[in-house]
Homo-oligomer: A and B are copies of this chain.
Amino acid sequence: MRTIITISREFGSGGREIGRKLADKLGIDFYDKELLEIASKESGITQELFVKHDETYTNSFLYSLVMGSYPVTAEGRINPELPLNQKIFLAQFDTIRSLAEKGPCVIVGRCADYVLKNHDHVVNFFITANMAHKRRRILERYDIEKNKVEDFIRKTDKRRSNYYNYYTDMKWGDARNYDLCINSSTTGIDGAVEIMEAFVRLADGAD
């Protein structure tokens, strides 16, 4: 196995659980929120700030215009004058690249598919689910009122999609960006893992 796996996912689709099970089956490392801790250690920015800005895009276009700041200094370091959310994005960017250099693993969210676009042996997944399943899953895991759950799901996905579309030149959820998109409502969690494992083994051999 030499394949790096990225998983983008709708909120409530079970993407995290699917990713962890897939990593276990393949015997490789798994990174979801774990990535924030590593990026914090590597960058020296506190973990709280990574959590606060996680997959969230704050419009700092005017700020960038005023500052005229460049993402990376002449010495190749992250420019300290950059807005915080962009510094955080770039620190995650570096962490994702260094994890991929270490060997096969599963990385959930955080534009990893975009960051590793020119990396060999990457398989990009997108996980969807029907609203009824997403509702049930979120109600089981979050303390939230029944009549607010759909709104919560929509807003979380809107946030993820804004973040992705801002930092990449691609569109979150467009089938043409991924190697395989799967609706976990059709297969169940374990069925999705099964199909994805077959897909990875095929791609890993076929490259």
A residues sitting closer than 8 Å to B (CB atoms) are 10, 123, 126, 128, 173-176, 178-183, 186-188, 191, 194-195, 198-199, 202-203, 206
Contacts and interface: CB of A to CB of B under 8 A. Distances in A.
A167 to B, nearest CB: 19
Given A186-B203, A195-B195, 9 more contacts: A123-B186, A126-B181, A178-B181, A179-B183, A179-B186, A181-B182, A187-B202, A195-B199, A195-B202
Contact of A181 (B123, B180, B187, B203): B180
A31 to B, nearest CB: 22
Tallying the copies of this chain within the complex gives: 2
Contacts of A175: 126, 128, 173-175, 178, 181
Contacts of A206: 186-188, 191
12 contacts: A128-B175, A173-B174, A173-B176, A174-B175, A175-B178, A175-B181, A179-B183, A180-B183, A186-B199, A194-B198, A194-B202, A198-B198
B123 A176 contact: no
Contacts of A188: 206
B182 A180 contact: yes
A141 to B, nearest CB: 21
A126 to B, nearest CB: 5
Contacts of A195: 180, 195, 198-199, 202
A36 B178 CA distance: 32
A128 B176 contact: yes
B198 A202 contact: no
Contacts of A187: 199, 202-203, 206
A123 B183 CA distance: 10
A13 to B, nearest CB: 10
A179 B127 CA distance: 10
